[in-house]
Amino acid sequence: MERKAVPELDRRICERFQIPGATVSYKKKGLLRMGRTFAETSCPLVEISYNGVRFLNRKELEPDQEILVEILSPANETALTLKGKVIWSEAVEGNGYHTGIQFYPYGRKKGENEPRKLSHIKRWAEKYVNIAET
């Protein structure tokens, strides 16, 4: 299956990095609000940046679907929950889908992610980028 997204949307502004053993759970937004339960849990995190995350999941997600992701690092830190939207979902032979999520902006307005969440990702980058380079 081909990637369902406009190529111009694949902006790689921020450095991507891996967090070995990290997982993603997600909820999809319905007509009025975010779902009450996670659609999938413990999806392996492939890579993350300040702007988004890519993970491996079992179900194809539609582009532009609003989503809430919860990221848990293997260090059993507090889970990080971020709002965003699906940019693309691509079949992985015999193994589900790789899904790319773009996080909503960081700020104090309604619908934005809290700025402290960006600080959390920056701490992960400081911790895990050096691991990936060795």
Domain annotation covers residue 113: yes
Cα(43)–Cα(22) distance, rounded to whole angstroms?
A: 9
pTM of the model: 0.82
Quick check: is 64 in a domain?
Answer: yes
99 lies in a domain? yes
Residue 13 is part of a domain; what is its CATH number? 2.40.10.220
Q: Please count the structural domains in the chain.
A: 1
In a domain, 63, yes or no: yes
Is there a domain that residue 2 lies in?
no
Distance CA 88, CA 76 (A): 28
Residue 1 forms part of a structural domain: no
Domain extent for 31: 7-129
Closest alpha carbon to 117 in 79, 65, 66, 86: 79
Report yes or no on 19 lying in a domain.
yes
* pLDDT tens per residue across all 134 residues of the chain: 444 443 444 445 568 999 999 999 999 887 556 667 888 889 999 999 999 999 999 999 999 999 999 999 988 677 999 999 999 999 998 889 999 999 999 999 999 999 999 999 999 999 888 654 44
Q: Is residue 115 part of a domain?
A: yes
Q: How many CB atoms lie within 10 A of CB 71?
A: 24
